[in-house]
Amino acid sequence: MRKYKISEIVVKRLPLYLRCLTYLDKMGVPTISSHELGHKLGIKPSQIRKDLAYFGEFGKQGIGYDVSYLRGEIRHILGLTEHIKVAVVGAGKLGQALSDYILLKREDFDIAAVFDRDPAKIGMEVGGVKVSPIENLKEIIQEKEIQMAIVTVPANAAQKVVNLLVDAGVRGILSFAPIAVTVPEGVRFYNVDFTMELQSLAYYLTGQGKNEY
């Protein structure tokens, strides 16, 4: 067993590699070098080799990586060999949009439960399941053994909802609430803020950025 810690930044790059390898595999590309992969992703080949080396020896000198094999290995590393159950808390527009997206994609994740505190939303079908009252969160999450959740509640409710999820046994949380939330050790929390993508796009509209093509 490894004794060293792999940084979150490395783990966050794995899905990027996976997406590219899945595309290459579909296109029938059999092998790819770290240079070609790096060129496609805008990542240094040395970085890719280093990232992958944390998990094993996947490349062959002079040949590169077997696309289909490496894709399978990364899926295995990420624990995507079977569908993962996800709970969604907050059945507003964003919760509905994300749940329906996951349902339609039918890849890697299944919406196993959706919760809201608004009585008007209880029983509505979102992401292929009926919305349950937030009071039943712990019971349903434990019964269905759900370990991952998406939080789309307003900022002022985020910490409370995250506490409920952690108490119910959820260990991975993706929050779209625009606020910092604390979680205990052993729980991984990601805060998604798509305005950060807009901010970096904005750079390319500036005088400095617009020549960088």
Which residues between 54 and 73 bind a copy of itself (CB under 8 A)? none
Indicate the residue among 135 and 197 with the shorter CB distance to a copy of itself.
197
Least distance CB 143 / a copy of itself (angstroms): 18
SS (H, E, C) 43-85: CCHHHHHHHHHCCCCCEECCCEEEHHHHHHHHHHHCCCCCCEE
Among 80, 103, 122, 168, binds a copy of itself (CB under 8 A): 80
What is the C-alpha to C-alpha distance for residues 32 and 68, in angstroms, rounded to an integer?
Answer: 10
Among 70, 102, 112, 141, binds a copy of itself (CB under 8 A): 102
- Cβ atoms of 177 and 151 within 8 Å: the answer is yes
Q: Applying CB under 8 A, which part among 1-9, 65-73, 113-121, 156-164 lies near a copy of itself?
A: 1-9
Is residue 197 close enough to count as binding a copy of itself by CB under 8 A? yes
Indicate the residue among 63 and 179 with the shorter CB distance to a copy of itself.
179
- Cβ atoms of 89 and 99 within 8 Å: the answer is no
For residue 10, the 8-state DSSP code is H
What is the C-alpha to C-alpha distance for residues 70 and 56, in angstroms, rounded to an integer?
Answer: 10
Distance of CA 92 to CAs 125, 131, 137, 177, 200, Å? Answer: 12, 11, 17, 12, 27
Residues within the interface to a copy of itself (CB under 8 A):
2, 5-9, 11-12, 14-16, 18-19, 23, 42-43, 77-80, 84, 86, 92-94, 96-98, 100-102, 105, 107-109, 147-148, 150, 171-174, 178, 180, 185-186, 188, 190, 192-206, 208-210, 212-213
